Structure 1
Amino acid sequence: MASDQSFVDYVAEQVGLGERLTHKRMFGEYALYLDGKVVGFVCDNSLFVKPTPAATALAPQLPLRPPYPGAKDYPVADELLDEPPVLQRLLHQTAEALPPPKPKKPKAPPKPRASRT
């Protein structure tokens, strides 16, 4: 079941990080980015946070399950949507625990076409 854009908007509103928290649609679900780092996913209208020591330390009570078939278990942070300061701290510390995103390679210029005369 694909997630609804309205749920993603609700998550962003609850977290309260403004333009620092962005999302990208992927295969009917969404990746959440904080300052360019993937910190979680919205899958089946649930909020999954990347498993890091921050998640274990700040929210050890969160249930674990895979966000999509074949994935490892991620903490499910739905219950923290009612506690924005805790969720915000969790996402900040998750981002801090992750390496910076790899720079994207520049696109190669298109190859010239051979003219047909």
Structure 2
Amino acid sequence: MSTSLDFIEYVCEQIAGVGQIRYRKMFGEYMVYVNNKPILLVCDDTVFVKLLPCLDEVMRDAEKGIPYKGAKEHYILDIDNASLCKEVIAILEPITAVPKPRKKKQ
């Protein structure tokens, strides 16, 4: 089951106000970008964030899961808790790099 467009739009509504938000369909699922930085991975209508030490305290009670086959374990973010989502993004956004543009094939 892949993520529905309604769900990805709900995710974006829940985090409104944290910066410039956009999403991109990738490998049948979605990546949510905040200020052009990849912050949230959305797979099968579930929101994932990387397991990083800076999130250990705020995500201590969160479930963990594998977003897709071959991926590392991630935290599962409770997207219905808008204040938690915004807190997680406030922690991740400053330490996440903007991806480098890919070179075009000639």
So what's the TM-score if we normalise by structure 2? 0.86
Aligned partner of 1:115 in structure 2 is none
Q: Work out whether residues 3 and 45 of structure 2, in 8 Å CA contact, stay in contact via their aligned partners in 1.
A: yes
Aligned partner of 1:57 in structure 2 is 57
Amino acid at match of 2:90: H
Aligned partner of 1:74 in structure 2 is 74
> Which consecutive residues of structure 1, in runs of 5 or more, have no partner in the other structure?
111-117
| Identical-residue share of aligned pairs (%) | 26
Structure 1 residue runs of 4 or more that deviate by more than 3 Å after TM superposition? 105-108
CA shift for structure 1 position 21: 1.8
Aligned partner of 1:41 in structure 2 is 41
Kindly indicate which of the two structures has a greater share of residues assigned to strand.
2
> Which consecutive residues of structure 2, in runs of 5 or more, have no partner in the other structure?
none
Distance in 2 separating the partners of 1:17 and 1:54: 22
Aligned partner of 1:14 in structure 2 is 14
Distance in 1 separating the partners of 2:19 and 2:55: 23
Secondary structure of the structure 1 residue equivalent to 2:57? helix
Q: Work out whether residues 18 and 34 of structure 2, in 8 Å CA contact, stay in contact via their aligned partners in 1.
A: no
Q: Give the aligned CA root-mean-square deviation in angstroms.
A: 2.0
| Pair 56,18 (structure 1): closer, same or farther in 2 beyond 3 Å | closer
Report how many residues are paired.
Answer: 106
Secondary structure of the structure 2 residue equivalent to 1:62? coil
2:82 equivalent among 81, 84, 91: 84
Amino acid at match of 2:101: K
| Pair 106,26 (structure 1): closer, same or farther in 2 beyond 3 Å | closer
Q: Deviations over 1:68-110 (max 9, x none)?
A: 00101000013xx232122111012112222x224325547x6
Distance in 1 separating the partners of 2:37 and 2:82: 19
Kindly indicate which of the two structures has a greater share of residues assigned to helix.
1
Q: Deviations over 1:40-94 (max 9, x none)?
A: 211000010122223212111111111000101000013xx23212211101211
So what's the TM-score if we normalise by structure 1? 0.79
